[in-house]
A = this chain, B = another copy of it.
Amino acid sequence: MQFQPLLEEIVATLQPELGAAGQVASYIPALARVPAPQFGIALRTRDGQEAHAGDSTTRFSLQSISKLFALTLGMREVGEALWDRIGREPSGNPFNSLVQLETEQGIPRNPFINAGALAVTDRLVSRFDAKAEMLSLLSTLCGDPVDFDEEVAASEASTGFRNAALANFMKSFGRIDNDVGTVLDVYFHHCAVRMSCLQLARAAGFLCRDGVHPYTGQQLLTGRQARRVNALMLTCGTYDAAGEFAFRVGLPCKSGVGGGIVAVVPDRLTLCVWSPALEPTGNSLLGMKALELFTAKTGLSVF
């Protein structure tokens, strides 16, 4: 399949809609000032073919996309025991995050809601320097140096009272081992990683390659683990729109409020789209449209 012309066609199709609808995340200044009329798309196939178009090399804030890589580190380091404190079921809706923590004794529904990512982060903090390890993982995966946007991390910390509530609440159930402040600091830094579509399409490559590192050939996750990550992305990866994504896009996806979405076509390719203006669900408006166009034109849905 010729992907470069297809990605260019998608960019052209969406061009008239750039900046026309949706809202850029506004809860911290560093995100609020990102210009809305931007769109990028990039993919990398299992065998290393690449294509990208639009603002595909502009770096943006990973935000919740970092949960995908934190989970990868957690599965690699902790193995099955990771699931002692984290579920694998969709959470239903945002309203539930606290209710469910209450009724389910501080065990978050899955690793892609904030509470779940905080629980993963806590496990990482117990093992190593989890900030450095995240940068190291991402750098080797995409082949470029990767860093934190320290302004974003600081802003997240100064406004992240809800995450502080979640972490303290889990700690009250004995589900967080480390100091809450330390866990939050690492979590906010992970959210503040900045990468481009192209870098992310490369970095997620192991998810369509049975867990094998695209460059080094190292077994990052087992094949079974990689497929499970894909399953979690499909059922839980896009906030409260997982059903809608499965219905309309039909691919495992992980989105972030920075406007990025990483998608996986199992055994075939990984894909990243980015556009800062969001739908009310917190997912990139044009990103979602781009993924629908992509699966409609290629037939590459898992369903």
Docked-complex contact A100 and B110, CB < 8 angstroms: no
CA gap between A285 and B301 in the complex, in Å: 29
How far apart are the CA atoms of A91 and B93 in the complex, in Å?
Answer: 8
Chain A residues touching B, majority SS? helix
Report B-chain residues with C-beta under 8 Å of the C-beta of A164.
Answer: 164-165, 168, 180
**In this assembly, does A129 line the interface, its C-beta being within 8 Å of a C-beta of chain B?**
no
* CB <8 Å contact, B227 and A232: no
A232 touches B247 (CB 8 A): yes
Given contacts A99-B98, A161-B169, A180-B164, contact A235 B228 (CB under 8 A): no
CA distance A130 to B241 in the complex (A): 31
Contact residues in B for A87 (Cβ distance below 8 Å): 243
A160 to chain B, nearest CB (A): 8
Number of interface residues of A (CB under 8 A): 47
Chain B residues within an 8 Å CB radius of A169: 98, 161-162, 165
Given A164-B180, A165-B168, 18 other A-B contacts at CB below 8 A? A88-B243, A89-B90, A89-B241, A90-B235, A95-B102, A98-B169, A99-B99, A110-B243, A162-B168, A165-B165, A168-B168, A227-B301, A227-B303, A231-B247, A232-B243, A235-B246, A266-B303, A302-B302
Listed by A's residue number, 18 A-B pairs whose Cβ atoms lie within 8 Å are: A88-B243, A88-B247, A89-B90, A89-B242, A90-B90, A90-B92, A95-B102, A164-B165, A165-B168, A165-B169, A168-B168, A231-B243, A231-B246, A234-B234, A234-B235, A235-B242, A235-B246, A302-B302
